[in-house]
């Protein structure tokens, strides 16, 4: 191993900071990336909102599995039930409730002084690799409503780096256990943006255990979904793979397919 190579922790810190500061400053004019893009601010991505609307409106029960660290799913589903646009809200699957997120909803503003936000939604979001708004403190997990954990002390975000040798740490074990049970209870999986790479052995094992050698239906949303069909059949040979277009073109297909089942 090259001793002159920079420490891996530096790469993790850099990637965390880049993801955490992505996007434009909110209307509050707060340009500090530690506190921008907070979980209580709705996503302004119309494509993602349309995707979740199609899934929620045509499914009896929904749970979400993601390998991403960002807050895009939470900001689209919202942290609590909403009426406009309608959403059941979400919470972090695999962790006890109530889930109270620390921080400041609108730092340095007397118009929005809330320092705590509770995840009161009904849709579980399982984050297999951790999240940029989580931090491990003295063996316990602390959840924030903003991205401060990705910056302080060189980066304290509770995430698992995307390397082939990754293993779920103890603080993530209940997330992996619960999502496996959730997969076993579901006959229809909507896969968007995940190509099931061969090196992702632990996630593929999780999917295999979730399928339990039974015929599950997988709606594969990707611009190259046809070519990915065989890759998905390797870990889950009994699956019915339905290749669809990616976002945003495949949103109508998703709504039609789910409503027909």
Distance between CA 183 and CA 23 in Å, rounded? 32
Highest mean pLDDT among 19-23, 24-28, 71-75, 166-170: 71-75
* Residue 194 pLDDT greater than 70, yes or no: yes
What is the pLDDT of the chain when averaged over all its residues?
A: 85
**H or E element that contains 227:** helix 225-233
Instruction: Write down the pLDDT at residue 23.
Output: 54
181 assigned to some structural domain: no
112 assigned to some structural domain: yes
* Residue 37 pLDDT greater than 80, yes or no: no
Distance between CA 219 and CA 178 in Å, rounded? 22
Residue 11 or residue 180, greater confidence: 180
1 assigned to some structural domain: yes
Residue 42: other Cβ atoms inside 10 A:
14
Name the β-bridge partners of 143: 134
> How sure is the predictor about 195, in pLDDT bands with cuts at 50, 70 and 90?
confident
Distance between CA 85 and CA 109 in Å, rounded? 26
186 assigned to some structural domain: no
229 assigned to some structural domain: no
Instruction: Write down the pLDDT at residue 128.
Output: 94
71 assigned to some structural domain: yes
Residue 43 or residue 168, greater confidence: 43
Q: Which residues of 165-183 are buried (b: 16+ CB within 10 A; e: fewer)?
A: ebebeebbeebbebbbebb
180 assigned to some structural domain: no
Instruction: Write down the pLDDT at residue 233.
Output: 85
70 assigned to some structural domain: yes
* Residue 112 pLDDT greater than 60, yes or no: no
pTM over 0.75: yes
Interhelix angle 46-57/251-260, rounded to 10 degrees, is 10
Residue 187: other Cβ atoms inside 10 A:
12
* Residue 90 pLDDT greater than 60, yes or no: yes
Instruction: Write down the pLDDT at residue 16.
Output: 74
Total tally of structural domains belonging to the chain: 1
Give the range of the structural domain holding residue 131, as residue numbers without chain letter. 1-52+63-163
């Amino acid at each position: 191993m090259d001793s002159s190579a920079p420490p891996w922790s530096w790469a993790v810190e850099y990637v965390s900071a880049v993801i955490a500061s992505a996007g434009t400053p909110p209307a509050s004019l707060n340009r500090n990336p530690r506190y921008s893009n907070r979980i209580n601010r709705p996503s302004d991505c119309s494509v993602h909102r349309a995707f979740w609307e199609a899934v929620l409106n045509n499914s009896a029960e929904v749970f979400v599995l993601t390998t991403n660290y960002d807050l895009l799913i939470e900001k689209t589903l919202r942290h609590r039930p909403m009426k406009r646009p309608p959403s059941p809200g979400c919470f972090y699957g695999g962790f006890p409730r109530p889930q109270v997120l620390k921080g400041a909803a609108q730092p340095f503003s007397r118009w929005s002084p809330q320092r705590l936000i509770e995840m009161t939604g009904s849709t579980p979001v399982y984050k297999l690799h951790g999240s940029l708004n989580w931090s491990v403190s003295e063996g316990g997990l602390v959840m924030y409503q903003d991205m401060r954990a990705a910056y302080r002390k060189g980066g304290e975000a509770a995430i698992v780096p995307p390397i082939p040798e990754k293993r779920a740490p103890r603080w993530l074990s209940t997330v992996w256990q619960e999502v496996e049970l959730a997969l076993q209870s579901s006959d229809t999986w909507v896969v968007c943006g995940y190509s099931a790479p061969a090196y992702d052995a632990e996630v593929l094992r999780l999917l295999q255990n979730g399928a339990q050698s039974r015929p599950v239906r997988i709606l594969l949303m990707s611009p190259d979904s046809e070519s990915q069909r065989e890759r998905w059949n390797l870990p889950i040979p009994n699956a019915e793979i339905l290749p669809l277009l990616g976002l945003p073109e495949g949103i109508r297909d998703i709504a039609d397919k789910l409503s027909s089942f």
